Amino acid sequence: MKALPLLCLAPLAASAATSETELGEMVVEAMKPGITHRITAEEVQDFERRNLAESLDLLPGVSLTRMGARAESMVTVRGFDLRQVPLHIDGIPVYVPYDGYADLGRFLMPEAGEIEVAKSISPVLAGPNTLGGLINVFTRRPTEKLEGAVHAGAFSGDGWDAGLSAGGREEKFYWQFDLSWIERSAFPLSDDFVPRPTENGGRRNNSYSEDWHVSGRIGWTPAVDDEYVLGFWSQRGEKGTPPYAGYDKKVAPRFWQWPYWDKDTVYILTRTALGTETTLETKWHYDTFQNLLRSFDDATYSSQTKGYTFNSYYDDWIAGASATIENRSLKNTRLAAAVHYERDHHEETNLGAPTYTFEDETASVGFEAEYDFGQGGSLTGGVSYDWRDIREAVDTNSGAPLYGDKNSSWNPQLVYRQQFNDCLEGHLGWAEKSRFPTIKDRYSYRLGQAIPNPNLDPETVNHFDLGIGGKANDKRIEWEANLFFSRIDDAIQRVDNVAFTPGGAGLFQLQNVGEVEHRGFEFAMASKFTDTIQAGFNYAWISAENRTNPAISIINVPEHEVTLFSKLDLMERLRLIPSFTWSDSRVVSSTGKRVGIYASADVKAEVELPGDVKLGFGVLNILDRNQQLDEGFPEPGRTFFGDIRYEF
């Protein structure tokens, strides 16, 4: 559900980080983070979210989605998917080089972490491919000599999770370490689920998963404005893909398992003061990704003799660096420039088959200026130029090398912000953004279901954003309202049935389908009625339409979403957190296939025990609704959970 943090409101203007921010943090507003753009680890714990996809769903305008055929958890941000709204960790881009996605179900939220989301208008200096915004998970600096938490929990489906977080700070040195683990044998289906040939109900077939996450960083602060950080993220995962359990006879069930899904990132962040008015920040990163996907004959997952079975191996890496310089020597003016470079390398092979290699080179240069007019008004403008070269590509059917032209794009933006008084402010922004097609977008046959399109052009979009918000009732109420409109040109969209196999099966292709429009409205309000009662309400309306060809539907964009929540301190040591989320029916294929309404009523109770120990327990999907986010792939039914936490 989408809970609204009780923080100060801010507009959507964009800015590079300054010495007032933490390294790895990417400020998405001109002055301060906004209430609808940031999630803390504490909020994730309050609403019992177990991965980044579920955590991001706490924000208005961000919708949880599933790619059921691959058992991947995703989100859309104002209707834009994760290829268009990339994930960064401590300011470092993290994705799978082949398809540009990040399976957010594999990423666990660190105890000492926060999430920032830029919707539509993102920092112009953040780098390429931020068509629809930007998601950044960053690690907070510890403030005490020793601080942290340890927790353990259990939940329905033989689920277990545990974690340890510890950090410390000295005068010129700090460190942070996070370790998390989660495992589940199978999630429970609703009692209302009707058995299908591939799913008999009860515990969802082949829905097991296990994930480990470990991260750490060491920071050195030799001077007030100087900081140097060495950090890493490491993930180990395995999972099964539940088979299709719908009624579409054209969809063949897949019997897939992923024995390993491993991703490692190491990075260096630096901030150096060059005199009193200028700072230089750099980022250096190297990321590796290995995984194995196994396709079996049937639901026994014991043999691989049929023509559609395989063992597919990925071995990828990303290497990149960036530098940002900022100067404030001119009165009321901030000037900044950035340069980014990345190389994406992808190797794939099936057992006993050749290895195919793909490699892209992407770079960006950008400039930004902000001027403070006084009287609460400021104007931020900037532009970046991005380009991508194809270093290596191959036709995986013939083995022949492929070539392509260099793609490039300009990305200007302009945002005006006005602080009317302490309790009211607004913003008006425009930006033009772009995204280059991924390796998979251009070259994949999608297991014989698609036709490659190596001539895909970049997507471009014009964003318009208007917002106003503030505080009322002695600042006990915070509210925000936003209107947005996005017009996407050369939109890349799956087009079904562009050709047919000899057996009559339809083949699809990704194409630049023309012009797509997203428009919407967001309203969020949170109130602290008393010291013991908090409540919040979110509403989002998003309309996405293919103006060039209305017959090709835009997928995974619910038109209406509503969230209600409260936090009730019933007694000195007892807190109750009920919440409800409702999401409209959505289209899940370009041919118009739909799933129904998604709704969940949840409740959590939290008891404070002696010695800084908290005991939490509750129920998700209390009504045990049988529902889907992707057709043929039912979501968990009623789920019970309990956990214990000690903070020091």
Q: How confident is the model at residue 27 (pLDDT cuts 50, 70, 90)?
A: low
Q: What is the pLDDT of residue 403?
A: 79
Order across the sheet with 87-89: list the strands: 38-40, 113-119, 133-139, 87-89, 92-93
**Which residues, other chains included, contact 307 with Cβ-Cβ below 8 Å and sequence gap of 6+?**
none
Judge whether 626 lies within some domain.
yes
The share of the chain scoring above pLDDT 70, in percent, equals: 95
Length of the chain (residues): 648
Q: What is the pLDDT of residue 494?
A: 77
Q: Which of 200-209, 367-376, 589-598 has the lowest mean pLDDT?
A: 589-598
Judge whether 371 lies within some domain.
yes
Dump pLDDT digits (tens) for 217-275: 999 999 999 999 999 999 999 999 999 999 999 899 999 999 999 999 999 999 999 99
Q: What is the pLDDT of residue 310?
A: 96
Dump pLDDT digits (tens) for 327-356: 999 999 999 999 999 999 999 999 889 999
Q: What's the count of helices (H) and strands (E) in the chain, helices before strands?
A: 3, 35
Judge whether 233 lies within some domain.
yes
Q: What is the pLDDT of residue 19?
A: 41
Judge whether 585 lies within some domain.
yes
- How far apart CA 103 and CA 87 sit, in angstroms, is 10
Q: What is the pLDDT of residue 26?
A: 67
Domain holding 133, by residue range, is 38-647
Judge whether 32 lies within some domain.
no
Judge whether 4 lies within some domain.
no
Dump pLDDT digits (tens) for 308-332: 999 999 999 999 999 999 999 999 9
Q: Are 290 and 315 in contact (CB under 8 A)?
A: yes
- Reply yes or no on whether the pLDDT at 30 is more than 50: no
Judge whether 5 lies within some domain.
no
Q: Is 297 exposed, middle or buried (0-12, 13-18, 19+ CB in 10 A)?
A: middle
3-state secondary structure of 498: strand
Report the CATH number that the domain containing residue 576 is assigned in CATH: 2.40.170.20
Dump pLDDT digits (tens) for 461-480: 999 999 999 999 888 999 99
Give, rounded to a whole angstrom, the gap between the first and last alpha carbons of the chain: 29
Dump pLDDT digits (tens) for 536-557: 999 999 999 989 888 888 899 9
Amino acid at 297: D
- Reply yes or no on whether the pLDDT at 5 is more than 60: no
Q: What is the pLDDT of residue 17?
A: 35
Q: Which of 15-24, 88-97, 460-469 has the lowest mean pLDDT?
A: 15-24
**How many separate domains does the chain show?**
1
Amino acid at 423: C
Q: What is the pLDDT of residue 536?
A: 93
- How far apart CA 599 and CA 581 sit, in angstroms, is 6
pLDDT, averaged across the chain: 92
How much is the average pLDDT of 159-183?
A: 97
How much is the average pLDDT of 406-428?
A: 94
Q: What is the pLDDT of residue 31?
A: 36
How much is the average pLDDT of 147-167?
A: 97
Judge whether 24 lies within some domain.
no
- How far apart CA 568 and CA 581 sit, in angstroms, is 18
Q: What is the pLDDT of residue 10?
A: 35
